[in-house]
Amino acid sequence: MTVLDTAGAAPASADPPGPAPPFVVVGTPGDRRVTMFAEALRTRGLPGPLVVPWRDVLAGAELRIPERAYVRVDSPGEDTEADVLLRGPGDPTRVGGGASWHAAFVRGLERVRRAVARTPGARLLGDVGEIAVMFDKRRAHARLGAAGVPVPPALPAPITGYSGLRESMARAGWSRVFVKPAHGSSASGILALQVSGQRISAVSSVELVRGRGDARPDGLELHNSLRVRTYTDEADLAAIIDRLAPDGLHVERWFPKASSGGRVFDLRVVVIGGLPTHAVVRASHVPMTNLHLGGVRGDIERVRARLGADGWQRAMGVCARAAACFPGSLMVGVDLMVGVTWRRFAVAEVNAFGDLLPRLTGLPDAGAAGLDCYAAQVDHILAARSAA
């Protein structure tokens, strides 16, 4: 794997021999996403990709792409330097700054698009405009809904703070909602909020810190935590939501999810080239099923058996329809919720970088059996090239 010198052309030795075009990944050198994609190339006898570091893209360095290259845009990952360029200086664990992050991210995507457009024969493996939409939950939700993809109903924007949220919930007659930062990912800043009479509670991975030495003038900080906690103090909830609201909030009605093995679950389904190829059950004792928050991989065969052949086919059909809303994207990760009756489905999220699922091989009936998500994508690219 070669890191591309963005101040000049890639070295001649980096060009792969033979007719296969080179691959380029816009990502973070050493990140698991980059190394796993590189391994998928090498197992097919191809050289590893050239890597254009996100920090160079965001810092305004000149971008040079090899001619005829396939260019994959991947996540900035956990690169501290890239995070500063996206959100500004501060503790990397802090929650917030999503609006600044998204604006800088979109500018970076546009720089990549222009670099590819001016390079003879180079092509993007994912539409950068679609990536930008997938990182705006409000726009993605609207696009899915307009296409008839089942999604939970959402409160009209904007939600300017806690009091406005409670008023909008009362008007809608909703007592349970998911409050999501519009540009968040990995459940950062999400609250599963419930109101019952005078009682209120919210489950979240947000850690509210008061009065720490480097705290803001109001004495409050929000940080991501691997420990999910429950807030029952309305003042705490108001402080969290008021802090998140300026960056934009997307609020959906709570969709009660089915349980399997004593845990609620949803499905992360990876759709490659329009076909659902990989699926993992994400199960948890808390409303957020993310694996890094204590969720576990459930039994996919148990879920398939419970849904039955028809139910499974309908579930995968919903995922394919969701991905079809982003036709320029080779891969879309779809988070599919199964209702408590096992008869209804709703899409919770669509993910531009939803393929980081180590050790997960393809569904047996989807043409990707035995392949991880990255190998399946490489095979799809090579097959499409051969067909062309």
pLDDT of residue 201: 97
Q: How far apart are CA 278 and CA 367, in angstroms?
A: 10
For residue 15, the model assigns a pLDDT of 38
Instruction: Please enumerate in sequence order all residues whose Cβ is within 8 A of that of 108, keeping only pairs 6 or more positions apart, or say none.
Output: 54, 57, 58
Tell me which residue of 51, 29, 57, 55 sits closest to 128, measured CA to CA. 57
Map residue 201 onto helix, strand or coil.
strand
What ranges in 135-289 are assigned the alpha helix state H? 137-146, 162-172, 234-244
State residue 263 phi and psi, 5-degree precision. -130, 145
**Distance in angstroms (rounded) separating the CA atoms of residues 386 and 61:** 34
Q: What's residue 157's pLDDT?
A: 86
In whole numbers, what is the pLDDT of the chain averaged over residues? 93
Neighbouring C-beta atoms of residue 324, cutoff 10 Å: 14
Give which of 283, 294, 282, 356 is closest to 78, Cα–Cα: 356
> Out of 65-79, 185-199, 207-221, 310-324, which region has the weakest mean confidence (pLDDT)?
207-221
Average pLDDT over residues 186-208: 96
Residues 134, 335: Cα–Cα separation, whole Å = 12
Residue 16 clears pLDDT 50, i.e. is over it: no
Calpha distance 184→286 (Å, rounded) = 19
* Strand ranges inside 13-121, DSSP E: 23-27, 50-53, 70-73
Q: How many Å apart are CA 125 and CA 119, to the nearest integer?
A: 14
* pLDDT tier for residue 210 given thresholds of 50, 70 and 90: confident
The 10 Å Cβ neighbour count of residue 192 is 20
The average pLDDT across 55-82 equals: 96
Enumerate residues 6+ apart whose C-beta is below 8 A from 114: none
pLDDT tens sequence across 102-125? 999 999 999 999 999 999 999 999
Q: Give the pLDDT band of residue 8 (cuts 50, 70, 90).
A: very low
Least confident of 84-93, 183-192, 214-223: 214-223
- Rounded to whole angstroms, how far apart are CA atoms 376 and 272? 8
359: number of Cβ within 10 Å? 7
How do residues 316-341 score in pLDDT, each as one tens digit?
999 999 999 999 999 999 999 999 99
295 or 2: which carries more pLDDT confidence?
295
Measured in degrees and rounded to the nearest 5, phi and psi for residue 321 equal -65, -35
The pLDDT of 138-155, averaged and rounded, is: 98
- Indicate the pLDDT class of residue 386, thresholds 50, 70 and 90: confident
Provide mean pLDDT across the span 285-314.
96
According to DSSP, the β-strands at 275-284 and 220-231 are unpaired
Residues, the chain? 388
Mean of pLDDT values over 366-378: 96
Beta strands in 34-155 (DSSP E): 50-53, 70-73, 123-124
What is the per-residue pLDDT for 216?
A: 57
